[in-house]
């Protein structure tokens, strides 16, 4: 049972955050390098902004997909 103060999407936000952080770690990609690669694609992200956004886990699916693309992830296994 969920408490009233927990978002109904909190579980999935945590999962998405962990997948993204895991893929960054596996590839040795820092937030600074991720920001650089995203900015090459027209995004306007600073290292600090990325760290905050990923830490919260409340990013869009489009942001998640763009990150996966720029770091070279072609497949993701989802276990929900």
Residue 18 in any domain: the answer is yes
Q: What is the pTM of this model?
A: 0.87
Q: Are 21 and 54 in contact (CB under 8 A)?
A: yes
Structural domain total, the chain = 1
Residue 77 in any domain: the answer is no
Confidence of residue 66 (pLDDT cuts 50, 70, 90): very high
Q: Which pair of tokens denotes residue 60?
A: 């869009």
Question: The domain containing residue 45 runs over which residues?
Answer: 9-71
Query: Which residue is listed with tokens 């276990």?
Result: 79
List, as own/partner pairs, every contact residues 7-15 make where C-beta atoms lie below 8 angstroms and the sequence separation is at least 24, other chains included: 12/80, 13/56, 13/57, 13/58, 14/57, 15/78, 15/80
Separation CA 80–CA 70 (nearest Å):
24
pLDDT in tens, 6-63: 889 999 999 999 999 999 999 999 999 999 999 999 999 999 999 999 999 989 999 9
């Amino acid at each position: 049972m969920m408490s009233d103060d927990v978002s109904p999407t909190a579980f999935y936000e945590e999962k998405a955050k962990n997948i993204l952080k895991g893929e960054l770690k596996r590839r040795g990609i820092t937030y600074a390098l991720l920001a650089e690669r995203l900015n090459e694609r027209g995004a306007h992200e600073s290292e600090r902004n990325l760290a905050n956004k990923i830490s919260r886990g409340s990013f869009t699916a489009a942001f998640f997909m763009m990150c996966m693309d720029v770091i070279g992830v072609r497949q993701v296994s989802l276990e929900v």
